[in-house]
């Protein structure tokens, strides 16, 4: 146990964010560099080293949280890094992007603010990079087996790294021009600077993983032909089909899916564009959807100089405390204020968009909405609450409905789908097609980055066992092992 009295004597502290007036003028991460170092050992000391650490169950990766909290408290950063990497390939990603279901499951959180697990995690890995402890781990021998991984998001990268380290020759196919999937083009720079992603990719290259960009399996290369070329295939293509909003005026210029808007802003930061062709500068912006993707659109609009930003959510505003039907240690739906929301804008709840109104040139100018009540399993408009708000740029951030079925990948492989439209798989992540596996959102549906990495690692074990008859790769979780996890 780190500090036997730590949870009694030390209050919860989190990383400091830079002043809003400063950070909205750039695209750097919102946190004050180095702000965690003076407080992190005491924060790690709040960990109670519980007899039954529910944080393990809250984390899909099964992170060894009490162990690396203890090492961080004692200043043994090398040991903390080793324990952290034992279950997580990319803790610098999860430490910045994961909503931390482990903290919701923290035993201390029953009646006190939980341990700042996420902040401890990111401090450990950042110090490991600074000290040069994160090095390539190439396999000692090659198996002679080949694997193709389709998609380079967190699930695909985790599967590829595990399989490469197991001795297989792995090639990752990515349809975009750069590796990273949503980590590259869906996550804004102010949430995670891409240097963290770039150095992991370089580590993987040094280990032997091959990357093929600008190739879309199903369009540029036939999926069935790819299967014949490799001994196994892992599909980690994500759930990239966005949910649309079929209301009058949807065709107006200025109404875009979030994943049309966010990648262009990231391309500006990559140096590919001088200015985004879809910019919020000087415009009244409306973001439809109250989740993390919507918040990313809000923060991006602020940095592009929007005249105003309004975020719409059809559901009621969550409460500040756990609702009775989501008791500890489950992940509760509570009201959250992200860094993007701290920067301004308005959030409207229990509203539904009825139509868009444009000008004579076909540009969106207004969004018409109505307040709604949810009962009998559907939303009912409240009479007399209709109104319109200015909207010269609208982004749709209402989630995703499943993997892309228009590019031929599903049909060319002959894959079966489950009742939700995701690619069906068994407990070893194997599809109905021999030698073809699926991990991440493509099989699970839209979910969290920590689930994607966990599934990538688990699928890699299934592939390794398929290729060699056994596997010594760590085993984090099966698709059916979902108890208490988000």
DSSP string covering 354-391: EEEEE-TTSBEEEEEEEEEEEETTEEEEPTT--EEEE-
| 140/479 Cα distance (integer angstroms) | 31
Question: 120 — phi, psi (to 5°)?
Answer: -65, -45
Rounded to the nearest 10 degrees, what angle do helices 65-74 and 37-44 cross at?
130
| 218/232 Cα distance (integer angstroms) | 16
| 116/283 Cα distance (integer angstroms) | 38
469: Cα separation from own chain's centroid: 32
| 59/29 Cα distance (integer angstroms) | 24
Residue 195: Cβ within 10 Å count: 11
Residue 270: Cβ within 10 Å count: 14
- At 400, is the secondary structure helix, strand, or coil? strand
Contact 429, 462 (CB under 8 A): yes
Structure tokens at 485: 């996890």
Q: With b meaning 16 or more CB within 10 Å and e meaning fewer, what string describes 467-478?
A: beeebebeebbe
- At 207, is the secondary structure helix, strand, or coil? helix
Contact 425, 432 (CB under 8 A): no
Length of the chain measured in residues:
486
- At 54, is the secondary structure helix, strand, or coil? helix
133: Cα separation from own chain's centroid: 25
Q: How deeply is 146 buried, as exposed, middle or buried, from its count of CB atoms within 10 A (0-12, 13-18, 19+)?
A: middle
Cis peptide before 3 (omega within 30 of 0): no
Point out the residues of the chain with pLDDT beneath 70. Answer: 1-2, 476-486
Structure tokens at 282: 């000087």
| 372/350 Cα distance (integer angstroms) | 5
| 443/437 Cα distance (integer angstroms) | 9
User: Positive or negative, the Cα torsion across 399, 401, 407, 410?
Assistant: positive
Four-CA torsion 329, 330, 331, 332, nearest 10 degrees? -100
Give tens-digit pLDDT for 363-412.
Answer: 999 999 999 999 998 999 999 999 999 999 999 999 999 888 888 999 99
Which residue, among 166, 250, 270, 268, has the nearest Cα to 209 in the 3D structure? 166
Q: With b meaning 16 or more CB within 10 Å and e meaning fewer, what string describes 30-54?
A: bbeeebbeebbbbbbbbbbbeeebb
Which residue, among 144, 156, 143, has the nearest Cα to 184 in the 3D structure? 156
308-313 vs 346-349, strand pairing mode: parallel
């Amino acid at each position: 146990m780190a500090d036997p009295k730590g949870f009694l004597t030390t209050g919860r502290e989190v990383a400091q964010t830079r002043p809003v007036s400063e950070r909205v003028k750039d695209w750097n991460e919102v946190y004050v560099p180095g702000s965690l170092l003076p407080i992190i050992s005491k924060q790690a000391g709040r960990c109670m080293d519980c007899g039954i650490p529910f944080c393990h169950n809250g984390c899909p990766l099964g992170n060894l949280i009490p162990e690396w909290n203890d090492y961080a408290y004692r200043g043994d950063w090398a040991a903390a890094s080793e324990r952290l990497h034992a279950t997580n390939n990319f803790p610098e990603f999860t430490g910045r992007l994961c909503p931390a279901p482990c903290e919701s499951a923290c035993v201390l959180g029953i009646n006190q603010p939980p341990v700042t697990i996420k902040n401890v995690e990111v401090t450990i890995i950042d110090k490991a990079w600074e000290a040069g402890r994160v090095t390539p781990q190439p396999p000692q021998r090659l198996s002679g087996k080949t694997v193709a991984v389709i998609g380079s998001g967190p699930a695909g990268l985790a599967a590829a790294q595990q399989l490469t380290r197991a001795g297989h020759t792995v090639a990752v196919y990515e349809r975009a021009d750069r590796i990273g999937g949503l980590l590259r083009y869906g996550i804004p720079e102010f949430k995670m600077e891409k240097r963290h992603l770039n150095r992991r990719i370089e580590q993987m290259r040094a280990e032997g993983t091959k990357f093929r960009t600008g190739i879309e399996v199903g369009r540029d290369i036939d999926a069935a032909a790819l299967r014949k070329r490799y001994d196994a295939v892992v599909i980690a293509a994500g759930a990239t089909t966005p949910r649309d909003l079929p209301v009058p005026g949807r065709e107006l210029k200025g109404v875009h899916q979030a994943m049309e808007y966010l990648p262009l802003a990231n391309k500006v930061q990559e140096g590919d564009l001088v200015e985004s062709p879809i910019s919020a500068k000087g415009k009244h912006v409306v973001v439809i959807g109250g989740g993390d993707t919507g918040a990313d659109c809000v923060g991006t609009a602020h940095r592009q100089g929007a005249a105003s930003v309004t975020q719409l959510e059809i559901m009621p505003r969550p409460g500040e405390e756990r609702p009775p039907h989501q008791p500890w240690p489950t992940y509760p739906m509570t009201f959250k204020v992200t860094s993007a929301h701290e920067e301004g804008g308005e959030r409207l709840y229990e509203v539904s968009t009825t139509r868009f109104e444009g000008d004579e040139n076909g540009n969106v100018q207004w969004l018409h909405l109505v307040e709604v009540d949810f009962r009998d399993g559907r939303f009912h408009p409240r009479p007399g609450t209709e109104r319109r708000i200015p909207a010269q740029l609208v982004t749709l951030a209402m989630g995703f409905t499943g993997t892309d079925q228009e590019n031929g990948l599903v049909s060319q492989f002959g894959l079966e789908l489950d009742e939700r439209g995701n690619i069906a798989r068994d407990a070893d992540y194997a599809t109905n097609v021999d030698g073809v596996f699926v991990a991440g959102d493509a099989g699970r549906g839209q979910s969290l980055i920590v689930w994607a990495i966990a599934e990538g690692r688990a699928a890699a074990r299934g592939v390794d066992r398929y290729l060699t008859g056994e596997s010594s790769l760590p085993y984090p979780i099966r698709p059916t092992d979902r108890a208490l996890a988000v």
